[in-house]
Amino acid sequence: MSVRRSERQIEFMGKLMLLINRRLMMTGASAAGVSLALAGCVGTTSDPAIQADTRPPENPLPPGVAADYSAIYGPVSGEPYPIPGVKLSEIDSAFLRKAIAYQTSEQPGTIVVDPPNHYLYHVLEGGRAMCYGVGVGREGFGWSGIAMIHDKQDWPDWYPPPEMFERQPEIKKYMSQLQSGLGMPGGADNPLGARAMYLWQGNKDTLFRIHGTNEPWTIGTSVSSGCIRMINQDVIDLYQQTLVGTKVVVLGPGVVG
């Protein structure tokens, strides 16, 4: 048995060296790095482990994150402005998109936002929901209540409210005169990201939005001026499934959806 084991180990190590040599040609890895890789792989005979070791180094997956996330959060094609892949190592894996069991009295299609815990739930059929991590308003800028999606925009222009200009006058240098006033045109540098959904109560604009962000590392934090920010790849996914008129429930502190 020990002879057979040795033969299998030799065969495995031969395959592993072939993979490593290929990787060296592609990445220029050092001989010291190869020695460490070999030391870490001794006794491991599963192909998934080898595949995990040969991931592209530019977008490493943090521990506990499924490999499919590298595709879900990869670069987005077909857009008028570039949407780069997300560096998943910069985001807590708890805030990555996932389908979960979710009991609620809200109808399928409803959006429930839980700001204290930094989650947004898109209610599905059968007691389930798609759960997304979000960034929300910092202290003093939160909002809760029931609203509806009044309209939706791809690559929206950003019009800061007068109060923001008063608090942060320095942002005026980034603005220009647009159709609806002083603002920033949609694009890769626009803080509203690739998509925005505008929350109204009756005939009144709440001035709060569900929108993308070009700062995905802020997901799971409370840093915005009250809006609900999402990873661009996530807001595109939600946007495609959300109709104008959709009910949005934003929970207050201590309220369970």
Cα–Cα distance list, 108 to 105, 124, 144, 170, 199 (Å)? 9, 5, 20, 43, 18
253 and 118 Cβ atoms separated by less than 8 Å:
no
Predicted pLDDT of residue 31: 34
The sign of the CA dihedral 209, 210, 215, 219 is positive
Predicted pLDDT of residue 61: 62
Give the 3-state secondary structure of residue 201.
Answer: strand
Predicted pLDDT of residue 165: 84
Predicted pLDDT of residue 18: 44
Predicted pLDDT of residue 137: 83
pTM score over 0.75 = no
Distance CA 226, CA 207 (A): 9
210 and 248 Cβ atoms separated by less than 8 Å:
yes
| Block residue for tokens 């942002």 | 171
Average pLDDT by stretches of 10, the chain with 257 residues = 45 44 41 32 33 43 73 95 95 94 97 96 97 85 88 95 86 92 95 97 94 95 87 98 97 71
